[in-house]
């Protein structure tokens, strides 16, 4: 059974790499084993948790702003200082709203 894991891993990596372009293939770094791949995934998930918590905390503020986004666009365009501030907030709202 242990010999099947490396063979399956190599087969999966080869299949995935064949679907990439030459530039993507050069940039892609293959984890040496399934265990290393799992460790990388767990590290990425741990980094993502901090952003998840931030989105959950700010969600009550983001939802009403998302509802009135069109109206706030019009209002911010009439003020020279409000437009850049609203632009930055809108980017954050859009990204966090799609992330939820």
The pLDDT tens digits for 76-91 are 888 778 888 888 888 8
Domain count across the chain: 1
Q: Is residue 92 part of a domain?
A: yes
Q: Is residue 76 part of a domain?
A: yes
What mean pLDDT do residues 24-34 have?
Answer: 75
In sequence order, the 6+-apart residues with CB closer than 8 A to the CB of 66 are 93, 97
Q: Is residue 33 part of a domain?
A: no
Q: Nearest 5°: CA angle at 88, between 63 and 76?
A: 80
Range of the domain at 52: 47-99
Q: Is residue 1 part of a domain?
A: no
pLDDT of 58 reads: 75
Q: For the chain, what is the mean pLDDT?
A: 78
Per-residue pLDDT of 46-79, as tens digits, reads 877 777 777 777 778 777 877 888 888 888 888 7
Q: Is residue 23 part of a domain?
A: no
């Amino acid at each position: 059974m242990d010999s099947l894991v490396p063979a399956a891993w190599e087969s999966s990596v080869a299949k995935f790499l064949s679907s990439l372009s030459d530039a993507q293939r050069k940039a892609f770094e293959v984890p040496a084993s399934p265990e290393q791949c799992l460790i990388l995934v767990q590290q990425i998930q741990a980094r993502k948790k901090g952003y998840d918590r931030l989105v959950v905390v700010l969600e009550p503020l983001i939802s009403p702003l998302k509802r009135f986004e069109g109206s706030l666009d019009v209002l911010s365009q009439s003020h020279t200082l409000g437009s850049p501030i609203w632009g930055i907030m809108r980017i954050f709202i859009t990204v966090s709203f799609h992330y939820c």
